[in-house]
């Protein structure tokens, strides 16, 4: 009986949950570049405010301060933005599970937060 074919290639995680189709919109790119939470903030800005904030971000991306953003600097920024989101999400999850706020998550706290058991 044939077994299910396994993919042996390690794929990079997606940079956004949104569809990557630049012909339709740039939502995927915004999430990848800014991080999902920051992209939501930018959606609420006027074009002038957005341009000003992006200018400040580009200054941060240009690590060698030569006035240009290299491919490597852009890759580093995107990795930074994604890691920042992951760390913030882990912190939110931890706070949601540490019900007595003692810095530790007991099995009872985990069950309560995850499955809704009463302590």
pLDDT tens column, 54-79: 888 889 999 999 999 999 999 998 88
Let me know if residue 50 belongs to a domain. Answer: yes
Task: Give yes or no for a contact between 72 and 61, defined as CB atoms under 8 angstroms apart.
Answer: no
Q: Residue length, the chain?
A: 119
For the chain, the domain total comes to 2
DSSP code per residue over the chain: -PPPPPP-SPPPPPS-SS---TTT-SHHHHHHHH-HHHHHHHHTS-HHHHHHHHHHHHHHH-TT-SS---HHHHHHHHHHHHHHHHHHHHHHHHHHH-TT-SS---HHHHHHHHH----
Neighbour tally for 54: CB within 10 Å? 14
Residues 82 and 110 in one domain: yes
Confidence of residue 102 (pLDDT cuts 50, 70, 90): very high
Residues 73 and 111 in one domain: yes
Q: What is the pLDDT of residue 5?
A: 60
Let me know if residue 4 belongs to a domain. Answer: no
pTM of the model: 0.52
């Amino acid at each position: 009986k044939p077994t299910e074919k396994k993919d042996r290639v390690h794929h990079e995680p997606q940079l956004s949950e949104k569809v990557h189709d630049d012909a339709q919109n740039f939502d995927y790119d915004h999430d990848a570049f800014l991080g999902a939470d920051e992209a939501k903030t930018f959606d609420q800005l006027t074009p002038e405010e957005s341009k000003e904030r992006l200018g400040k971000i580009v200054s941060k991306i240009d690590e060698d301060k030569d006035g240009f953003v290299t491919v490597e600097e852009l890759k580093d920024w995107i990795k930074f933005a994604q890691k920042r989101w992951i760390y913030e999400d882990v912190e939110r999850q931890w706070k949601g599970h540490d019900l007595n706020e003692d810095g530790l998550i007991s099995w009872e706290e985990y069950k309560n937060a995850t499955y809704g058991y009463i302590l």
